[in-house]
């Protein structure tokens, strides 16, 4: 049974170009104004919601889905699934790793500033790395899509559809949480999504390599 969607080097090129285009747009005055307007709208929305419950919820989301936690969870999942899936089990932690690597290459190249303190929740810890792209979103996107690649061939159509929507919802909530708490601009979230897709495709290409492909029992094309 085929366990991975077809991935081609051209797909990497296309998504890297999309990521570069997002980075360029984010660095333009138009992109900066777009991000600032959206961040101010989020700030106004936060002020209109009483009680602080939404703030606490989304701060919790942003803490739980830190790359520091997602990475070990992905590795643990691969260990638990190794006997059943062999090399295919490596896709999830590998996709996480390549997504984060792509993210930090872009952070180093662009070195974009985070939103100012006036746009951040007071509970947000100090942030020391660059803004673009969001590592939270990249990690969750790469990992979540890799989970789909591994899981969908083993479940019914109904469960597969639920899993797809669950991953989409998770990526959306994590992205919203990062903008809500003031850790990122909106274009950082889009960049994180693109970086996660690039990471997944690179991971699939790596696992299609000769020795690993044989370990997977022909699960890659």
Summarize pLDDT for 104-150 with one digit per residue, the tens. Answer: 999 999 999 999 888 888 788 888 899 999 999 999 999 999 999 98
Confidence of residue 4 (pLDDT cuts 50, 70, 90): very low
Check residue 50 and give its pLDDT. 82
Which domains does the chain possess? 9-215 (1.20.144)
Residue 198 above 70 pLDDT?
A: yes
Confidence of residue 30 (pLDDT cuts 50, 70, 90): very high
Check residue 6 and give its pLDDT. 58
- Extract the tokens encoding 72: 């070990």
Summarize pLDDT for 158-185 with one digit per residue, the tens. Answer: 999 999 999 999 999 999 999 999 999 9
């Amino acid at each position: 049974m085929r366990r991975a969607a077809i991935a081609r080097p051209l797909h990497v090129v296309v998504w890297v170009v999309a990521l570069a285009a997002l980075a360029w747009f984010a660095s333009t005055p138009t992109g900066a104004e777009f991000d600032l307007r959206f961040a101010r709208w989020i700030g106004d929305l936060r002020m209109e919601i009483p009680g602080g419950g939404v703030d606490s919820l989304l701060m919790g989301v942003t803490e739980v889905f830190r790359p520091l936690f997602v990475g070990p969870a992905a590795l643990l999942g691969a260990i638990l699934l190794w006997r059943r899936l062999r090399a295919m089990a490596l896709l999830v932690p590998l996709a996480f790793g390549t997504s984060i690597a792509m993210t930090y290459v872009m952070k180093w190249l662009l070195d974009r500033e985070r939103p100012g303190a006036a746009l951040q929740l007071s509970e947000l810890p100090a942030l020391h790395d660059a803004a673009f792209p969001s590592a939270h979103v990249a990690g969750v996107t790469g990992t979540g899509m890799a989970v789909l690649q591994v899981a969908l061939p083993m479940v019914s159509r109904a469960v597969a559809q639920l899993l797809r929507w669950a991953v989409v919802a998770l990526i959306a909530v994590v992205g919203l949480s990062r903008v809500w708490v003031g850790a990122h601009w909106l274009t950082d979230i889009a960049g994180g999504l693109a970086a996660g897709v690039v990471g997944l495709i690179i991971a699939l290409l790596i696992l299609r390599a000769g020795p690993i492909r044989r370990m997977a029992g022909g699960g890659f094309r």
